[in-house]
Amino acid sequence: MVGFYQCFLVVALGILVSAADFSLIETINFSLAKPCGKHRTAVRKEWGELKRAERIDYIDAVLCMQRQPQHLPREDYPGVQNRFDDFVATHINYTLDVHLSGLFLPWHRHFLWLWETALRDECGYTGHLPYWNWPLWSENLKASPLFDCSDSSLSGDGEYNPEEESISGGAVTLPRGSGGGCVRCGPFKDMQIHMGPFDRNIASFTKLPAPGFDYNPRCFNRSLNNFVSSNYDNVTIVDRLLAATNISDFQVVMDYWPARPYGVLGVHGGGHFSLGATLQDLFTSPQDPAFMLHHGMIDRLWSIWQAKDKDNRFALNGTNRILNPPDAKTVTLDMKMEFGVLDRSRSVGEVMDPTKHRYCYSYS
């Protein structure tokens, strides 16, 4: 997604710091880690694979999180109104460390696990985190059981907003989506979001910009965009991602591909820009309930890619700062990742294998 911002706001691809330019790749040996065993392994399923009752169970757990009291102090985080917002604020707080950097994949893996654990421990959810398999419905998002506005969906499109504009920058233009206004159907039709929006010009940020954690209540906005989903999250690009032979090439397809004909977005940004303004906000994107399922697909693809060659693909590449500036620290197995109020710090090495340690999950 940030690759897309970079294309529009800094324009020249030449200033992007390619992951291949770093000699920072570190391969991990997990031979001594304790495996989970099949009887302990949870299976995360695609939303459409779940029975209707299972989808509703997940929805109910998300709504429960929006009713639970926050853990962050209101005086320091005025925009945090509930437990759901604790996760949004945590993502805001570490955005400039964990996007377009060597921490992107490992940090979000643990973030998802913390979300799944909170749903189970705090809201009685008995299932596991679903994921959104983008190519299945990339030509027609409204037909997806994830976005069809039924009571077993994550709601759907927003009301049509004639003032929504296409997004242009440099030689690239993304047409507007089909909504652009408040979501008025499905389980999240009455949902408010509380923080943001943030400026898209992330290239110039060295610290958390305004509005920070300010309280800014407004309706949950969506604009389904089949152009974006069909061009950036299709089968061809997913296959190219999985065909990468090293972690730096994997990162390029994740964040910067394709360079032609529609600019630079990557499969990560493709998912974000497929759903409109709420999910497009780099900092506050977890305010859209689809965020966790979008990143579930990213984690799924990373885990599939890792499993193809475990001797060489438990690898790291990049630094601990957005866009990998030259003064940032190289990511290593011992590097600590922070999760604020959600959890204690975790080393990168702890999260690299989803089939071991505390995780014990796989994907269908």
In a domain, residue 102? The reply is yes
Tell me the three state secondary structure of residue 55.
helix
Question: Above pLDDT 90, what percent of the chain?
Answer: 80
In a domain, residue 26? The reply is no
Tell me: the pLDDT tens digits for 221-257? 999 999 999 999 999 999 999 999 999 999 999 998 8
In a domain, residue 18? The reply is no
Q: Are 218 and 303 in contact (CB under 8 A)?
A: no
Instruction: Using the structure block, give the residue that is written with the tokens 């269908």.
Output: 364
Q: Is the pLDDT of residue 357 over 80?
A: no
Domain containing 204 equals 42-363
Q: For residue 337, what is the domain's CATH number? A: 1.10.1280.10
In a domain, residue 19? The reply is no
In a domain, residue 20? The reply is no
Instruction: Using the structure block, give the residue that is written with the tokens 């506005």.
Output: 149
In a domain, residue 230? The reply is yes
User: What pLDDT score does 18 carry?
Assistant: 41
**Overall domain count for the chain:** 1
What is the pTM assigned to this prediction? Answer: 0.92
| pLDDT-based confidence at residue 30 (cuts at 50, 70, 90) | very low
Enumerate long-range contacts of 300-307, CB under 8 Å, 24 or more apart. 300/44, 300/131, 300/363, 301/238, 301/241, 301/242, 301/267, 302/105, 302/109, 302/250, 303/354, 303/362, 303/363, 304/242, 304/363, 305/241, 305/242, 305/244, 305/250, 306/352, 306/353
Per-residue tokens: 226: 């089949």
Instruction: Using the structure block, give the residue that is written with the tokens 């299945």.
Output: 136
In a domain, residue 176? The reply is yes
| pLDDT-based confidence at residue 204 (cuts at 50, 70, 90) | confident
In a domain, residue 188? The reply is yes
CA distance 255 to 291: 16
Tell me: the pLDDT tens digits for 276-307? 999 999 999 999 999 999 999 999 999 999 99
Question: By C-alpha distance, which of 106, 259, 242, 243 is closest to 171?
Answer: 259
Q: Is the pLDDT of residue 64 over 90?
A: yes
Question: Above pLDDT 70, what percent of the chain?
Answer: 88
| pLDDT-based confidence at residue 172 (cuts at 50, 70, 90) | confident
DSSP letter, residue 351: G
DSSP letter, residue 162: T
Label residue 338 exposed, middle or buried (CB < 10 Å: 0-12, 13-18, 19+): middle
Q: Which helix (H) or strand (E) holds 3?
A: helix 2-9
Tell me: the pLDDT tens digits for 65-122? 999 999 999 999 999 999 999 999 999 999 999 999 999 999 999 999 999 999 999 9
Q: Are 134 and 37 in contact (CB under 8 A)?
A: no
